[in-house]
Amino acid sequence: MTWRRDWSRVRAIVWKDLVTERRSKAGFSSVTALGVTILVLFGFALGPDAQVLRDAAAGALWLAALFAGVLAFSRSYQVELESGALEQLLQYPGSRWTIYVGKLLSNLIFVGLMLVIVIVTAIILFQVRIPATWPSLVAILVLGVVGVVVLGTFYAGMASRIRAREVLLPLLLFPMLVPVLLAAMSASKALLTGDLMHEASAWTRLLIAYDMIFLVATLLAFEHVIEA
Amino acid sequence: MDVQSELAVDARGIARRFGPKWVLRGVSLAVHPGEVVGLLGENGSGKTTLLRILSTLLRPSAGTVSVFGRDIAIAGSEVRDDVSFLAHTPGLYDDLTALENLRFAAEMAGGSSVDLRDLIERVGLARVADERVRGFSSGMQRRLALARMILRRPRLLLLDEPYSNLDSDGTVLMNSVISEAKRTGSAAIIVLHELAPAAGILDRTVTIVDGRVMGPSLSSGSRPKSAAGGIA
């Protein structure tokens, strides 16, 4: 059956990405270190005022996730480019969208794990009080990460076919991520500060809409952008 | 079945440009099942670009290509079922073992009926099957890429300078793989800089000069010549 074959290809890519990452070790530690460093720098810049730190926590967290994420997305295709493996991947029979979905899932796991460490650091550094509505906060974090990873994986794939990929990836990706980050940041901040204006649900709906639109659009477009 | 659908490769008027530079300028080529064609030409003449187009990695700027009767522009995914491309770079993962690289390739190809340990033994890498590719020499990587190429028994082999980095045993192995594929009706196009390593297996050669085929290239009416008689 075609879908079983496609699913087996997706699983193979996730397995390969996670095994190579676990063995090389360089990627996860450097990406996580960047995320934590950004948070520490924000902490120093904002000063010792606990309330100021709490107010800035959501913004600092998402910016750390963004910059560390870009490094992770770029690296996920760098592994393919090192010995011509991307061309070999494109040579296998079957639909090429499975490559995108495989990369997307492995990046979700990778960035998700990195974010767990970054979030714990943010809670400690920015003296964040966990709100009673923490399940909603977790849901927003998941939706935000999905949005960032969907676009990041897609544009990293597109940039992998271009010579100046390291420069072009942030230039292509950052403008597209503005709505996702704005929604994720605003919803997280609203929940962390008690959601007095009841705005978190509106931002969350917007985040869900962005995630769905970008997921469908990137799935449809990937085959075309990955071709030389 | 007409002659066109019998052909392993039927390329007509293929042109490809990169920016303002035309690398291929109207190449036509017909290859029958069971035929082994050597592709000769100087560096930059367009040989690798032609193989990349036949393997669906590149789209031609003009012209049409059919592989076993399927147009690569319409049925790229189905064409890839029949084609295996041994590129100049091995396309292996350094942090996976030899066996894991093959297992990954088998999964990506939709499964393989071939026993991977047997295959790895056939290419002479049994003793390093569980070692990471990072420590392999370029010749060993070439052998592993060869094993990956044949694990799904393709009907069309596209080989880009397959003898580079191979020792004499490796050359014999490469020729035996191509000969075996030929016996089962598979076709092969081999990019070569020297005829010597492939002299015993070629049916004919085609020379590309500055993006054009020199001499007769369409052989849709003729069957492959014998290995001895076909070498230019």
> A70 to chain B, minimum CA–CA distance in Å?
22
Chain B's closest residue to A21, CA to CA, is: B95
pLDDT at A58: 87
pLDDT (0 to 100) of residue B200: 86
- pLDDT by residue for chain A (228 residues), tens digit each? 688 889 999 999 999 999 998 988 778 888 899 999 999 998 889 888 888 888 888 889 989 988 888 888 988 888 888 878 999 999 998 888 999 999 999 999 999 999 999 999 998 988 888 888 888 889 999 999 999 999 999 999 999 888 787 888 888 899 999 999 999 989 988 888 877 677 888 999 999 999 999 999 999 999 888 876
B110: nearest CB among A16, A87, A93: A93
* Whole-number pLDDT of residue B182: 92
Cα separation, B113 vs B145, in Å, equals 18
Task: Confirm or reject contact between B110 and chain A (CB < 8 A).
Answer: yes
Pure H helices in A25-96:
26-46, 50-81, 85-91
Please say if the pLDDT value at position B132 is more than 60.
Answer: yes
Contact B27, B212 (CB under 8 A): yes
Say yes or no for a CB contact (<8 Å) between A19 and B107.
no
Query: Starting from the edge strand earliest in sequence, which strands make up the sheet with B70-71, in order?
Result: B21-31, B9-18, B62-67, B70-71
Query: Which of A76, A83, A88, A89 best tests the B interface by mutation, with the highest count of B CBs <10 A?
Result: A88
Is residue B139 one of the residues assigned to a domain? no
Instruction: Identify the contact set of chain A against chain B, taking CB-CB distances under 8 A.
Output: 5, 8-9, 11-13, 15-16, 19-20, 23-24, 79, 82-85, 87-96, 227-228
Nearest to B18 by CA among B42, B48, B41, B40: B48
Whether the predicted pLDDT of B39 surpasses 80: yes
Q: Do the Cβ atoms of B91 and A84 come within 8 Å? A: yes
Q: Do B55 and A5 touch (CB under 8 A)?
A: no
Q: Does B42 touch chain A (CB under 8 A)?
A: no
Rounded Cα–Cα distance for residues A123 and A120 (Å): 5
CATH number of the domain enclosing B44: 3.40.50.300
pLDDT reading at B204 higher than 70: yes
Q: Does B101 touch chain A (CB under 8 A)?
A: no
Give the number of domains in chain B. 1
| Nearest residue of chain B to residue A224 (CA atoms) | B59
The arithmetic mean of pLDDT across residues B80-94, rounded, is 92
Chain B residue numbers touching A8 (CB-CB < 8 A):
107, 110-111
| Cβ-Cβ contacts under 8 Å, B165 against chain A | none
| Full DSSP string of A153-170 | HHHHHHHTTSTTHHHHHH
pLDDT over 50 (residue B222): no
| pLDDT at residue B73 tops 50 | yes
Q: Give the length of chain A.
A: 228
pTM of the full structure: 0.87
Q: Where is B40: in which H helix or E strand?
A: strand B36-40
3-state secondary structure of A17: helix
B chain contacts of residue A24, beta-carbon cutoff 8 Å: 95
Across the interface, do B95 and A23 touch by the CB < 8 Å criterion? Answer: yes
Cα(A15)–Cα(A24) distance, integer angstroms:
14
Q: Which domain holds residue B84?
A: 3-93+153-230
Indicate the pLDDT class of residue B53, thresholds 50, 70 and 90. Answer: very high
Closest-CA residue to A68 (of A148, A162, A171): A148
What count of residues does chain B have? 232
Nearest Cα of chain B lies from the Cα of A106 at a distance, in angstroms, of: 15
Residue that has been written with the tokens 């020379």 in this structure: B207
For residue B219, is pLDDT > 80?
Answer: no
Could you read off the pLDDT of A50-74 as tens digits, one per residue? 888 888 888 899 899 888 888 889 8
pLDDT value for B224? 41
Provide the CA A28 distance to its chain's centre, in angstroms. Answer: 13
The DSSP call for residue B227 is: H
Query: To 5 degrees, how large is the angle CA A11–CA A16–CA A19?
Result: 120
Q: Report the percent of chain B where pLDDT is more than 70.
A: 90
- Residue B183 has which token pair? 């016996």
Rounded to the nearest angstrom, the minimum Cα separation between A27 and chain B is 13
Q: Does residue B111 lie within any of the structural domains?
A: no
B135 touches chain A (CB under 8 A): no
Contacting residues of A for B93, CB less than 8 Å apart: 16, 20, 79, 83, 85
